[in-house]
Structure 1
Amino acid sequence: MTGPARLAFSNQKGGVGKTTVGINVAGALNARGRDVLFVDLDPQGNATEGLGFRDAYDEAPPSLFDVLTDPERRESFPDLVLDHPEMDVVPSNIDMTAAEPELTLSRRGGEQLALALETVEDDYDYVLVDCPPHLGYLTDNGLHATRNVLIPALAESTSKRALELLFDHVEALELDYDITIEERGVVANRVESTNEGRTMLNWFDEAFPDIPVWEVRKRVALQRAFSEGVSLFEYDPDVDMTETFLDVAADLDEQFGFDDGATVEAAEVSR
C-alpha cells in the first residue's frame, strides 16, 4: 500500500470508552510490529492524559490548535510529535477548545489535519486519530484526513441513535467533499452479560453484516492501564482482552493490505 493506513475513532456519544479503545488498538498494532502515530483531536485531551502527557496539554504555543488554524504553522506539525514507548503521539492542547469557531471561518476548515499529516506520513504504518465526542469541524477533520472509521459503542440501546447520527454526518461529509469514508469495524465496549447487552450484540451483528464487530469486556485493568499512561500490552499483557485487541489489529492489517512478512511481536504476548 502507498502511505500509512489512516483510521479515525469516532462516536458522537460521549462516555463510550472511545479513547481507551483507540489507545489499546494502537498498542496492539505496535505489538504486531507496526509504527503508529496517534493524534489526539479531542479538545478534552483524554488520550493525551491517557498516554502520560498531561503536561503537554497545558504547553504554550505552538500546539495542534495552531497547526490546524494557521496555515503558516502547518510545517511545524512534526515538532509536536512526542515519543511514547508504544507509539508516537501528537497531543491535544487546552487551546483546542477554541478550534471549532476558528475552523468554521477557515476556507478549508475540514481539510486542515489532512494537510498537516502530509508532513509526517512517510514515517508511519498507521495514523490513528481520536475524534471528539461530538460532530463538528474537528471530527470532520479526523474523518476527512483518514477516510476510514472504527466505531466504539456501548452495548446499550442508546447506541442506536448515536450511530444513526454518525452515519448521517458521514454521508453528508462524503457528499460535501466528494470522498468515500469506509467503516472498518465496530467495537462493542464494556460488554456485560445482561439481557440488554446480549440484545445489543445481536443488533450490532445484524446492523453491520459486512464489517467485523468485536466485543471488549469490562475490565478494571483497562482503566488502570489508562491511569499509567499505557495500553494493556505495556501494563499487563496477561489480561484476556489483549487477545481481542490483537484480533482487531490483525483484521486491520488484513483490511489495509499489510503483508504478514513483518515481524509480529504479538507472538511474545502472554496468553
Structure 2
Amino acid sequence: MTAKKRVDTAVLDGMDKPAVGPTGRPLRVFPVPERLTGHGPARIIALCNQKGGVGKTTTAINLGASLAHYGRKVLAVDFDPQGALSAGLGVSAHDVTNIYDLLLGTVKDAHDAIQPTSVAGLDVIPANIDLSAAEVHLVNEVAREQILARVLRQVIDEYDVILVDCQPSLGILTVNALTAAHGVLIPLECEFFALRGVALLVETIDKVKDRLNPALKLDGILPTMFDSRTLHSREVLERAVERFEDQVFDTVISRTVKFPDASVAASPILEFAPEHPASMAYLQFARELISRGAVA
C-alpha cells in the first residue's frame, strides 16, 4: 500500500464509529474527494486573525499541502512581512521576486514571483520584510484596496485554490486580502483572548463585504491549539460553538510539538510526520472544506 493510500485509510479507519467530537457535535466522516479532471478558476481564501500566534501560517501551510494531496492545484500567497509561510515551505524570500514587487508594480507578471515547493501541486508567492513598507507606499494609490485582486487575477485560472496568509493586523494589507478573497477562514486558538478578538474580525469582514467585496463569505472558524486536558481549552471551544454555531468547523487542530518541529524542517506536517494525528487532522479539514463546497 502506498504512503498516500495508507494515510487516507488511517484517517477513515479512525472515524468509522459514531462518536462525539471536541465541538460537542457527532463526528462526521468526510469522504475522500475525487480527483479533478482540470484546474481553475481558483477560489481565493484569506486566512485572517488580527491576533498573532493562533496557527494561521501553520494552517496555510498544512491545508495547502493537504489539498494538494487530494489533487488540488494550490497557490499559497505569503502576505505577512515576517515571511513565515515562505520559510515554513522551504522557499527563499530573499533576492527573488516577491509579493511586494507585484504590489508596487516593479514586476508586472505574477508568474515571475511564483516558486515551487517540495509538495507537488503546491506553489507559493513569497514575502519578506520589505512588505512591511507596503502600507506606506499604497496609502496614496488609487483603488489601493484592490491591488492584490488585480495581481491574483493573472493566475486565478491556473489554480483550484489560492490561500492568502495575512499578517496579524487589520491594516491595508489585510483589507486587500479580504477584497480579493471569495472566502475567509479564521483560525481560532482555543484561548480566551483569541475568542474575544474574533468578534472584531467578523465586524471588519462585514464592513469589507458591505463596502468593497459583496461576494465575500465567512467560510468558517477553525479551532486550533486545542488541548483536551485543560478545562480552559474545552470551555473556549464550547463558547465558540455557542456563539458561532455551524460556522465553527467540525475539525479541531490539537496542540502538538510536531508543528514547530515541522517548521524547523521547513516541511508540512504531512511530509514531516505523515501518520501523526496532526497530519490526519489537516487531511480531515481539507476534506471538510471540499465537502462544504468551500473548495472544488
Q: Is TM more than 0.5 here?
A: yes
Q: Which residues in structure 2 correspond to 1:253-268 (within 5 Å)?
A: 253-256=290-293
The answer to whether the 8 Å contact 1:59/1:93 transfers is no
1:91 to partner: Cα distance: 0.1
The answer to whether the 8 Å contact 1:184/1:212 transfers is no
Q: Which residues in structure 2 correspond to 1:24-39 (within 5 Å)?
A: 24-39=62-77
Query: Which residue does the alignment assign to 2:236?
Result: 200
Deviations 1:10-57 (A, max 9, x none): 00001112101111111110111111000000011111111112x32x
1:49 and 2:87 matched: yes
Number of paired residues? 254
Q: Secondary structure of 1:230's partner?
A: coil
Query: Which residue does the alignment assign to 1:247?
Result: 284
Identity %: 32
Query: Which residue does the alignment assign to 1:221?
Result: 258
Q: Secondary structure of 1:116's partner?
A: helix
- For 1:190, which of 201, 218, 225 is the aligned residue? 225
1:83 to partner: Cα distance: 0.6
Query: Which residue does the alignment assign to 2:53?
Result: 15
1:188 to partner: Cα distance: 1.3
Q: TM-score, normalised by structure 1?
A: 0.88
1:2 to partner: Cα distance: 6.5
Query: Which residue does the alignment assign to 2:104?
Result: 69
- For 1:108, which of 121, 143, 148 is the aligned residue? 143
1:94 to partner: Cα distance: 2.3
Paired residue type of 1:207 = R
Query: Which residue does the alignment assign to 1:267?
Result: none
**Unpaired stretches in structure 1, ≥5 consecutive residues:** 260-271
Deviations 1:109-145 (A, max 9, x none): 1111111111111111110000000001110111111
Q: Secondary structure of 1:111's partner?
A: helix
1:251 to partner: Cα distance: 1.8
Q: Which has the higher contact order (CA 8 A, sep 6+)?
A: 1
Q: TM-score, normalised by structure 2?
A: 0.81
Q: Secondary structure of 1:187's partner?
A: strand
Give the Cα separation in 2 of the matches to 1:52 and 1:180. 34
More helix by share: 1
Give the Cα separation in 2 of the matches to 1:90 and 1:158. 31
1:174 and 2:209 matched: yes
**Unpaired stretches in structure 2, ≥5 consecutive residues:** 1-38
